[in-house]
Amino acid sequence: MLIKKRTGIEIPSSEITPESVYLSRRHFMRGAALSTAAVAAGGLLAACASPEAEPGSSATDVSAVQTAMPGKVSATADELGDPLNSFEEITTYNNYYEFSTNKEAVAPLSKNFPTAPWQVEVGGLVNKPKTYGLEDLMAFEQEERIYRLRCVEAWSMVIPWLGFPLSKLLNEVEPTSAAKYVRFETVQDRDNMPGLNSSLFPWPYVEGLRLDEAMNDLAILSTGLYGEALLPQNGAPIRLVVPWKYGFKSIKSIVKIDLVDTMPESLWMKTAANEYGFYATVNPNVDHPRWSQATERRIGEFGRRETLLFNGYGEFVAHLYDDPDFDTTQSVRGQ
């Protein structure tokens, strides 16, 4: 049933490495980063390199193999050659404020979050409004997409998502010519989401895209990762993934999708519009008002890497922002 098809971004076949090679390379990379730093620091803390991070530790590390690969994926790196983050990293380090503002607390708190039955109501300025059940959503051809996720907090991961282009769903409901934006809403399950009791945020979580952004092939609705159904902490049963924008745009556990004619006001715009704007495209040249966006820490690595414009997806999305009237700083900060 699962069809592994990748559109848009092709990974060179040389990157499709067997698990064992992949794992040892990953370990090597960690070890290398550490030991370079250790040498540079005059070996001050060289003893700190944990056994896990030692160069050359090989695929005999069975537990690592198991946690890294619960399901099947078709490649072990993104198109730039950077290795996937492990299943453990992706499922234990989550920003999901409906559960907790503590990233490590989200997974345990969301363990029993009920994700079935589930319905997504798609309506607004469309010719054929429809309420989708989970089965209907799973009936779309599921593709694997290996994307970088760049959080506005300046850390990043590489994640093998499963899902389908948002455009397929939007085409089914037929947006009218009046539709200009798409508005998404997260479930408000007060019994199971302790964070909703916090009055610090104007719940529900709302996000939005301009219609042409939403129709871009890179924007997907994801139902799984690492070849398995999404876990609650990652936004089960269905979430948005827009890899060229900061992570908070990729709204989780969606129950409502509306086509609208005015720019939707997201939860983060209501909270701090100058810091988390509507467009929020990844841009190393426009800093967050309080911190730099020039570099990022890839989870699993020491040291930093330079952040890429549009998170490295400019080739596919830069044209969306070509309009000469479009203020490029707005693309990051909103308006």
Q: Which is nearer to another protein, 74 or 285 (CB)?
A: 285
Instruction: Break the chain down into helix, strand, coil percent, rounded to 5.
Output: 30, 20, 50
Contact between 28 and another protein per CB under 8 A: no
Contacting another protein (CB under 8 A), which of 17, 35, 67, 92?
92
Burial, 213: exposed, middle or buried (Cβ in 10 Å; 0-12, 13-18, 19+)?
buried
Contact between 21 and another protein per CB under 8 A: no
Q: Which is nearer to another protein, 125 or 225 (CB)?
A: 225
Alpha-helical regions (H) of 93-165: 103-109, 134-138
Contact between 140 and another protein per CB under 8 A: no
Contacting another protein (CB under 8 A), which of 19, 88, 121, 189?
88
Contact between 153 and another protein per CB under 8 A: yes
Closest to 4 (Cα-Cα) out of 140, 138, 143, 147 = 143
> How many of the chain's residues bind another protein (CB under 8 A)?
35
Closest to 120 (Cα-Cα) out of 182, 179, 180 = 182
Contact between 287 and another protein per CB under 8 A: yes
Contact between 304 and another protein per CB under 8 A: yes
Are 184 and 279 in contact by the 8 Å Cβ rule? The answer is: no
CB of 313: closest distance to another protein in angstroms?
23
The stretch among 13-21, 85-93, 182-190, 222-230 that binds another protein (CB under 8 A) is 85-93
Contact between 104 and another protein per CB under 8 A: yes
Closest to 222 (Cα-Cα) out of 152, 162, 299 = 162
Query: Scanning the structure block, which residue is given the tokens 């966006």?
Result: 293
Strand extents, DSSP E, 166-316: 181-186, 206-210, 220-225, 228-229, 239-241, 254-260, 295-298, 305-306
Contact between 217 and another protein per CB under 8 A: no
Are 8 and 78 in contact by the 8 Å Cβ rule? The answer is: no
- CA-derived radius of gyration, the chain: 20
Contact between 12 and another protein per CB under 8 A: no
Contact between 272 and another protein per CB under 8 A: yes
List contacts with another protein (CB under 8 A): 33, 36-37, 40-41, 45, 48, 50, 52, 88-89, 92-93, 101, 103-104, 153, 155, 198, 200-201, 271-272, 287, 290-292, 294-295, 297, 299-300, 302-304
